[in-house]
Amino acid sequence: MQKIRFKLKVITPMFLGGVDQLVAETRPASLKGILRYWYRILITNKYASQYELKGSQDWMDYKKWANKNLWQKVYEDEGELFGTQDKAGKVWIRMGKITRKLSASEVRKWLGSLGRELSYIGYGPILYVNPNNPKYRNLSGLYGRSRGFGPVRGYFSPDIRFTEPLTVVREWSVDFLIKDETIRDRIMGLLWFVSMFGSLGSRSRKGWGSFYLDPIDEKYGFKSWSYSDPQTFKGDFQRASDLLGISISNLEIYYVKNILDLTDLNEKYRRYMYPYSNPRRPRPLDERNYFGLPRKNIKKIRRASPVHFKPLDKGLLIIRKLEPFIDPSQRVPLNPNAFNLFLNSLGNNNYQRIWP
C-alpha cells in the first residue's frame, strides 16, 4: 500500500460539518465524495467517442449525453477505484479530526456589512436571523438580541475577516492510501484536477470551501498544484489528462483576474442577476435558470448549475461542465447563451479562456 501525503489548504470559508450544524469538522467522506464527483466527470471522456460524444455540441445534446450505456460504464469504472455497496474501494483517505464551533464573536463580525455583502452567493449557510423568531431559537446564544445577516452553520476559515486570529484554520494533513499500484497514475491525475477545481461543503459551486492540495513529499511531475499562469496550467492539465488516459472535451475553463475575493464575486454575480436600475427587477428567468434550480417560479425541479466558481489566492477560475442543463421534456425556460451573457458582464478584458 502506497501513502501519498498532502496539506489541504483552505482558500475561502468552508461550511463543512456533520449532524451539529453549528460545529465545523473535517470529514474524509466529504473529500472522497469530491474525488468521486470529479472522477465521474473526467472519466466520461474515456468512453464518450463510443457514444458519438466528440465535441461541445455533442455534449450539449441531451439524447447523446443521457445514454444509459455510457453512464453504466462510468459507474463501473468509478466503482473499481472507490468501491460499491458490494466491494471496498482501492483508495482510502485519512486526515486528522479538527472541529470548531461557531462563536458569538464571529457572528458579530458578520452582522455589519460582511453578512449582507455575502448573503447572495452564501444564501443557505448565511441567512437573515431574527432571534425573536422561534425558527432561530437555537441561535439565540450566538446572536443575543442582534439581528441581521450572519452564519447559521459552523465553518473553517483561513481569514481573520471571518474569524478570530486564534481560531483561523488554514490547512490540515491528508493522506491518500493506494492499495493497488496499477491505479496510482489515475489517482495522481485525479488529485491534480481536484486540487485545481475542488471545493468542499455547502455552496461550494458559488465559491465557498475552495481549497488546493499541497504535496508534502514531491510535486509528482507537476509544476504546480494551484493555479499560477495559463502556460503552466495547460502543461499540467495535459499531464493529468495523460495520467487518467483521457482527452478532455467536456470542460471549459476561464480565468478572471478582476475578482479577487468572495466580496468581488458576490457583487459581480448579483450585478449579473439584477442588472437593472430597479433592484427588485431581476434578469429574465430563462437566463437566471442556467445558474441553478429551483427558483420560486419553478419549484418542482431541482438542478445544480453546471458552472463552478473556484476562488484562488489571486483571481477566480470558472469551470463550466458541458452538459445539457435540463431534460428538454421538462420545458424549463432556458436561454442557451446565458453563460456567455454572464462572461460578457465581467468585461471583455477581465477574463480569458484557458481551456481548451
pLDDT for the residue 136: 93
Question: Which DSSP letter does residue 194 get?
Answer: H
Spans of all domains in the chain: 2-98+168-246, 103-152, 255-355
d(CA 332, CA 17): 33
Per the confidence metrics, is the pTM higher than 0.85?
Answer: yes
pLDDT digits (tens, 9 = 90+) for 179-203: 999 999 999 999 999 999 999 999 9
Are 288 and 339 in contact by the 8 Å Cβ rule? The answer is: no
pLDDT digits (tens, 9 = 90+) for 65-105: 999 999 999 999 999 999 998 889 999 999 989 999 999 99
How far is residue 147 from each of residues 115, 141, 297, measured CA to CA in Å?
A: 11, 12, 29
Cα(31)–Cα(52) distance, integer angstroms: 32
* Contact (CB, 8 A) for 154 and 24: yes
Look at residue 1 in the predicted model and tell me its pLDDT. 85
- Predicted local distance difference test score (pLDDT) of residue 135: 92
Within the chain, which residues score under 70 in pLDDT? none
Cβ–Cβ contacts within 10 Å for residue 252, how many?
18
Tens-place pLDDT, residues 4-23: 999 999 999 999 998 899 99
**Would you state the pLDDT for residue 348?**
80
Kindly state the helix (H) or strand (E) to which residue 64 belongs, with its residue range: helix 62-65
pLDDT of residue 150: 97
